[in-house]
């Protein structure tokens, strides 16, 4: 028994927008149009029958045609860091996050694995953006991210979306889509490692602080040191 697949959480700073198809309404209206043109409407019973059919058509189409989910930025007052270069780079990341999240929504149920990787990349990019806002000294380390990883991801998603919409699916098209999936997966892993690397200095600082505290506790004869307490 399979559980209903949930839409991944929207990247930070964005919101999911669900758009329902108009086809169920058109289908219900078509029932009345056909009845008016070709079928008798001479009694209340027939009218009620057509109403029931129209409602059934609307219900079936509503179940079959699932709403589309897209992502848009949450409206908010535009904030600046006071650093023009940093603000420009933050906006570059925001634009890439929007495009990647939209591509993930488009992939949706047709390719859930690709959608998951794209959502992950968008969320990782948002986390990197937050880090460089908090610590602008990390910005120079993000050049490759800004100049290659994110633009390449956007380009690959555009290629995949174009191929996905083609009516035919030959060997070259299938191979290209598979290559895109593999590349997106690699970028996802790489960006997570890059995000982790941004905190290497912080990890070293914390480890140093803990070592100093442990030495002081041991010197003062308190608890025998943190290392012994945690073991």
pLDDT tier for residue 144 given thresholds of 50, 70 and 90: confident
Between 77 and 43, name the one with better pLDDT: 43
What does the alpha-carbon distance between residue 30 and residue 92 come to, in Å, rounded to a whole number? Answer: 47
Between 202 and 192, name the one with better pLDDT: 192
Tell whether the model's pLDDT for residue 53 goes beyond 60. yes
What does the alpha-carbon distance between residue 229 and residue 215 come to, in Å, rounded to a whole number? Answer: 13
Listed by start position, the domains of the chain span 14-64, 84-198, 202-231
Tell whether the model's pLDDT for residue 5 goes beyond 70. no
Tell whether the model's pLDDT for residue 42 goes beyond 70. yes
Q: Check residue 116 and give its pLDDT.
A: 92
Residue 88's closest CA among 75, 103, 78, 100? 78
pLDDT tier for residue 202 given thresholds of 50, 70 and 90: low
Between 150 and 2, name the one with better pLDDT: 150
| DSSP string over the chain | -PPPPPPPPPPTTEEEEEE--SHHHHHHHHHHHHHHHHS---SHHHHHHHHHHHHHHHHHHHHHSPPEEEEEEPP------S-HHHHHHHHHHHHHHHHHHHHHHHHGGGSHHHHHHHHHHHHHHHHHHHHHHH-GGGGGGGHHIIIIIHHHHHHHHHHHHHHHT-S---HHHHHHHHHHHHHHHHHHHHHHHHHHHTTHHHHHHHHHHHHHHHHHHHHTTSTT-HHHHH-
Residue 25's closest CA among 63, 64, 54? 54
């Amino acid at each position: 028994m399979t559980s209903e697949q949930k839409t991944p959480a929207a990247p930070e700073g964005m919101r999911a927008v669900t758009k329902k198809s108009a086809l169920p309404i058109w289908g219900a209206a078509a029932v009345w149009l056909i009845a008016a043109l070709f079928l008798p409407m001479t009694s209340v019973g027939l009218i009620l029958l057509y109403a029931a059919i129209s409602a059934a058509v609307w219900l079936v189409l509503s179940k079959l045609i699932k709403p589309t989910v897209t992502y848009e930025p949450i409206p908010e007052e535009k904030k600046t860091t006071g650093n023009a270069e940093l603000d420009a780079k933050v906006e570059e990341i925001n634009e890439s996050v929007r495009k990647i999240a939209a591509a993930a929504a488009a992939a949706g149920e047709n390719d859930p694995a690709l959608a998951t990787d794209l959502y992950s990349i968008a969320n990782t990019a948002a986390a990197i953006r937050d880090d460089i806002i908090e610590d602008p000294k990390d910005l120079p380390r993000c050049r490759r991210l800004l100049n290659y990883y994110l633009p390449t991801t956007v380009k690959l998603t555009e290629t995949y979306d174009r191929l996905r919409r083609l009516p035919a699916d030959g060997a070259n098209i299938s191979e290209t889509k598979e290559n895109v999936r593999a590349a997106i997966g690699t970028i996802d892993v790489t960006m997570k490692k890059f995000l982790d690397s941004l905190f290497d200095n912080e990890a070293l600082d914390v480890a140093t602080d803990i070592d100093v505290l442990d030495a002081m506790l041991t010197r003062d004869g308190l608890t025998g040191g943190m290392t012994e307490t945690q073991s």
